[in-house]
Structure 1
Amino acid sequence: MPVEVILPKVDMDMATGRISRWYVDEGAAVKKGDLLFEIETDKAAMEIDAPASGTIRDITGKEGIDIAVGEAVAWIYAEGEAGKPAKDVVAEAKPVQNLAPAAPASVATASAFSPALAPVKAVAPSMPLNGTRATPLARRLAAEAGLALETIAGSGPKGRVMRKDVESAMTAPKREVKAALWPDQIISRPPASSQPRPAPQRSAGAAPLNFAWLRQGEGRPIVLIHGFGADLNSWRPMLAAGPVDAPLLALDLPAHGGSPRHTPADLDAIAADVEATLASLDLGPILLVGHSFGGAVAATVAARGHADVRALALIAPAGLGPEINGAFLQGFVRAKSEASLMPWLRQLVAAEQVLSKPFVNATLAQAADSELRTAQGEISDRFFADGTQTFDIRGLLAALRIPVRVIVGANDRIIPASQSQGLPGEVALHVFPATGHMPQVERREQVLKILLEMARA
């Protein structure tokens, strides 16, 4: 008989659980004790082991939905064993009463064999950290998303930040981000008295583009411009890679995030909006960083010379050749549900595991905004007509007299990595193997290190 893999009870108050990630695929050979999947609750994130050796089949426990404790989520078949299990898993979650006694919280993983309260790794209590109460899961999700816990309003007891609070913060309307993330409100340590800061007063409408200070620090500010279809929050996963001691400012491109939803005529028009936004903040010398389409915008800003750009970093930049994945652009803009969006998001990276839930949820929130997606479709048609990049930044890079680094993934399925070849000799090129179109997420430690080195130079 096949061995049931059930959703175990890892908390006394737990009636349902949610599988956040499967680590094995249908038909995989597993050994007893191998890691199968991860459960997330508001109190813990638990890794679940295989209760037996064999071949895992009939995986019915889907990621991201509530499943009743004790329900079978898969079966493990012995070698040569055939047939289907008699019991089908109910797709919808339903509470299941379980009166088994609790086991002591002492071991690292839970068994997927018994629906009784499974032994779990002891977790740190959700005590205040820098004055903020949060559940362990909320802390982990916030760290993955690069969100400062102290900026998130908690809905739990005594203001404790819960999972839903973190997810809500990722999908909050971006018009509110501009005020909510002003530097004085997001610092995680007291600023040094000599630390330069942008002036906190600005007139209404002074900045054409929506922006947010993701970090405050000392030295040269780093200004981040996202790619097509993203927003300023797409940089947050990179910030979880380590401490950042430089000020970080992120902008929303036109028709993205909280910026005005108009279709710019050309790259110069977008560059003018970036320049006006930077001028309203009086930043001084900056390191300018752009990803994908934002890379072409950043190169244009640097070449125009109106902003004080002292160094330029381009990550998987557009504008180095005509070829681009036109099917991705069209499919991404059309997608309205998680089922239709995920196949396109997977093309952005070499390993799907780096697509965090907050990132997916934030992208879904944008997909649900029909006005936003319509405007982005117009931008795609204008700048990537017929699946072709209609602009070229090679000449701009050749004319620059500032340090320039280009960072690409060898397995980029959106913009071929080969387009980065043949750049001027003074342009430093970093090519990361087994990496797709988002090196700042897939190789976030290395990319963040490069950017901080450039900011300090």
Structure 2
Amino acid sequence: MPVEVILPKVDMDMESGQISRWYAKEGDSITKGQLLFEIETDKAAMEVDAPASGVLRNVTAQEGSTVPVGQAVGWIYAEDESYDTAIAPVETEVQATVPQQQLEVVSQDVPAKPTDVASASHENDGIRATPLARRIAREAGVDLTSIAGSGPKGRVQKKDVELKTCVKAVAMPKASQTQASNGDMLKTAWLREGKDKSLAPVVLLHGFGADMNSWRPMLGGGSIDNPIFAVDLPGHGGSTCSIPGELEAIAEMVEQTIAAQRSGPLILVGHSFGGAIAALISGRGNLDVQALVLIAPAGLGPEINGSFLAGFVRARTEASLTAWMKQLVEDESLLTKSFVAATLQQAENHDLREAQRLISDRFFADSTQVFDIRPTLNRLSIPVRIIFGAADRIIPASHGAGLPGEIALHMFGQTGHMPQLERREAVMRILKDVSQSVK
């Protein structure tokens, strides 16, 4: 039987929500736990994960449409399950009465009539903007008059504000922006509540050019009982574009952000550039890091694929970005449209890409990693696991050699720079093993 995908209730008085973005499309193969779509109300925005694995069918609500809570917006069929065309798309009352181009200004608390929409489009200050765009701009300190709106009749939308600033201050359940002592904001989110909140949470730090959502496919490869927390690094996702001049300062920013959310024991996991940050945080000794897992970490040797870094930060189209992203994996089929689209969203933000170019120029100058985390790892007394793909074309897997004997090295054949994607079940088993060893 196909699994129904419904619009969830974000807050107690929510009656409907607007689907602001789909991360998958009709006919895509998806995995349970994968980021599926994003909804918005006038109070909150929330990302929704796929409730099952299979093929997405019968998508009944497109981006921008408003849907009542509990209504099906799609169905997930098993890979070998016959497609039932009898399940037809259902239009909501709002969709039937309000023109599509006006849906973005409909109040989410009470479905508006067409006359309500018309009156809502005239803002008191003369600026045409959606309520969500106004809130994001206000919280990020952005002047709406400086933004060219891409919506109907020049209305400023959420994406217009986000392209103006790196800090996307959206009020999100389980997600927030945390301020470090230097005043910069880093976006954080609890990706999983966990079955046992008394366990040490797993804190995830993504790699260069990614964001916290890049971990979601891995989470579909298994489960652990620990809560799972993620941070967008500076210059990535919804975090500040202010990049400190020293790697240690970046580690301090992330450390302070984690400390604001968690004061007890934790397990730190980092990929690539985030792996180097995770190692430095562990070495600083200010957080109660019980175990460290590094996936294809930077900082173990001088070589790095500088052509990839330069090409990646220059790419602005889906075609050019996909060409560079193919270097990340051995199995190119894993680069789904939704995965590429999520990465492309950052490419469309000029400030983000400039910040990432600065990171590349500063810490990976001339195709060289100009920092070294080996001394830090040599000093650690906590359990450390390092995971590499033998076919990594970004950071040579040979960098995993010569580590202290106490550090466990996991080397996966026919795997590229993203073992958490290509060997997600195995990586989740490693995380489960590590979490069970931490009391």
User: TM-score scaled by structure 2?
Assistant: 0.64
Aligned-pair CA distance for 1:210: 1.0
Aligned-pair CA distance for 1:148: 8.3
Hey, what does 2:72 align to over in structure 1? 160
Question: In the alignment, residue 288 of structure 2 is paired with which amino acid?
Answer: D
Q: 1:410 aligns with which of 390, 399, 402?
A: 390
Residue 358 of structure 2 corresponds to residue 378 of structure 1: yes
Hey, what does 2:420 align to over in structure 1? 440
Q: Any residues of structure 2 matched to 1:272-421 within 5 Å, and which? A: 272-421=252-401
Q: Tell whether the 8 Å contact from 1:145 to 1:359 is kept in structure 2 after alignment.
A: no
Q: Tell whether the 8 Å contact from 1:178 to 1:211 is kept in structure 2 after alignment.
A: no
Q: 1:214 aligns with which of 184, 188, 191?
A: 191
Aligned-pair CA distance for 1:156: 7.1
Residues 265 and 136 from structure 1, CA distance in 2 versus in 1: closer, same or farther, beyond 3 angstroms?
Answer: closer
Aligned-pair CA distance for 1:376: 0.7
Q: Tell whether the 8 Å contact from 2:387 to 2:411 is kept in structure 1 after alignment.
A: yes
In structure 2, what is the Cα distance between the partners aligned to 1:416 and 1:291? Answer: 14
SS at match of 1:126: strand
In structure 2, what is the Cα distance between the partners aligned to 1:399 and 1:275? Answer: 19
In structure 2, what is the Cα distance between the partners aligned to 1:346 and 1:439? Answer: 14
Aligned-pair CA distance for 1:368: 1.0
SS at match of 1:214: strand
Q: CA RMSD in A?
A: 3.2
Residue 23 of structure 2 corresponds to residue 145 of structure 1: no
Aligned-pair CA distance for 1:282: 2.8
In structure 1, what is the Cα distance between the partners aligned to 2:259 and 2:361? Answer: 30
Question: In the alignment, residue 376 of structure 1 is paired with which amino acid?
Answer: Q
SS at match of 1:265: coil
Q: Tell whether the 8 Å contact from 1:318 to 1:415 is kept in structure 2 after alignment.
A: yes
Hey, what does 1:452 align to over in structure 2? 432
Question: In the alignment, residue 237 of structure 1 is paired with which amino acid?
Answer: P
Greater displacement, 330-339 / 274-283: 274-283
Aligned-pair CA distance for 1:357: 1.8
SS at match of 2:333: helix
Residues 407 and 273 from structure 1, CA distance in 2 versus in 1: closer, same or farther, beyond 3 angstroms?
Answer: same
In structure 2, what is the Cα distance between the partners aligned to 1:178 and 1:349? Answer: 32
Q: Tell whether the 8 Å contact from 1:325 to 1:415 is kept in structure 2 after alignment.
A: yes
In structure 2, what is the Cα distance between the partners aligned to 1:245 and 1:137? Answer: 32
Question: In the alignment, residue 258 of structure 1 is paired with which amino acid?
Answer: G
Post-superposition CA distance 1:34-85 (Å, at most 9, x none): xxxxxxxxxxxxxxxxxxxxxxxxxxxxxxxxxxxxxxxxxxxxxxxxxxxx
In structure 2, what is the Cα distance between the partners aligned to 1:178 and 1:406? Answer: 35
Q: Tell whether the 8 Å contact from 1:146 to 1:240 is kept in structure 2 after alignment.
A: no
Question: In the alignment, residue 347 of structure 1 is paired with which amino acid?
Answer: Q
Q: Identity of aligned pairs, percent?
A: 52
Question: In the alignment, residue 126 of structure 1 is paired with which amino acid?
Answer: E
Q: Tell whether the 8 Å contact from 1:299 to 1:393 is kept in structure 2 after alignment.
A: yes
In structure 2, what is the Cα distance between the partners aligned to 1:328 and 1:396? Answer: 27
In structure 1, what is the Cα distance between the partners aligned to 2:320 and 2:8? Answer: 40
Post-superposition CA distance 1:68-106 (Å, at most 9, x none): xxxxxxxxxxxxxxxxxxxxxxxxxxxxxxxxxxxxxxx
Residues 156 and 383 from structure 1, CA distance in 2 versus in 1: closer, same or farther, beyond 3 angstroms?
Answer: same
Residues 238 and 402 from structure 1, CA distance in 2 versus in 1: closer, same or farther, beyond 3 angstroms?
Answer: same
Q: Tell whether the 8 Å contact from 1:215 to 1:244 is kept in structure 2 after alignment.
A: no
Aligned-pair CA distance for 1:391: 0.3
Q: Tell whether the 8 Å contact from 1:303 to 1:399 is kept in structure 2 after alignment.
A: yes
Residues 383 and 423 from structure 1, CA distance in 2 versus in 1: closer, same or farther, beyond 3 angstroms?
Answer: same
Q: Tell whether the 8 Å contact from 2:283 to 2:377 is kept in structure 1 after alignment.
A: yes
In structure 1, what is the Cα distance between the partners aligned to 2:351 and 2:5? Answer: 42
Q: How many residues align?
A: 312
Hey, what does 1:80 align to over in structure 2? none
Residue 4 of structure 2 corresponds to residue 126 of structure 1: yes
Residues 245 and 140 from structure 1, CA distance in 2 versus in 1: closer, same or farther, beyond 3 angstroms?
Answer: farther
Q: Tell whether the 8 Å contact from 2:5 to 2:73 is kept in structure 1 after alignment.
A: no
In structure 2, what is the Cα distance between the partners aligned to 1:420 and 1:149? Answer: 38
Residue 165 of structure 2 corresponds to residue 180 of structure 1: no
In structure 2, what is the Cα distance between the partners aligned to 1:453 and 1:148? Answer: 31
Q: Tell whether the 8 Å contact from 2:5 to 2:74 is kept in structure 1 after alignment.
A: no
Q: Any residues of structure 2 matched to 1:94-105 within 5 Å, and which? A: none
Aligned-pair CA distance for 1:228: 0.7
Residue 250 of structure 2 corresponds to residue 270 of structure 1: yes
User: TM-score scaled by structure 1?
Assistant: 0.62
- Of structures 1 and 2, the larger Rg is shown by 1
Aligned-pair CA distance for 1:136: 10
Aligned-pair CA distance for 1:177: 7.7
Q: Tell whether the 8 Å contact from 1:125 to 1:136 is kept in structure 2 after alignment.
A: no
Residues 203 and 272 from structure 1, CA distance in 2 versus in 1: closer, same or farther, beyond 3 angstroms?
Answer: closer
Aligned-pair CA distance for 1:327: 0.3
SS at match of 2:258: helix
Hey, what does 1:107 align to over in structure 2? none
In structure 2, what is the Cα distance between the partners aligned to 1:316 and 1:152? Answer: 27
Unaligned runs of 5+ in 2: 11-15, 40-45, 49-60, 76-157
SS at match of 2:328: coil
Question: In the alignment, residue 261 of structure 1 is paired with which amino acid?
Answer: C
Aligned-pair CA distance for 1:349: 0.3
Question: In the alignment, residue 161 of structure 1 is paired with which amino acid?
Answer: V
SS at match of 1:212: strand
In structure 1, what is the Cα distance between the partners aligned to 2:5 and 2:347? Answer: 36
In structure 2, what is the Cα distance between the partners aligned to 1:445 and 1:412? Answer: 18
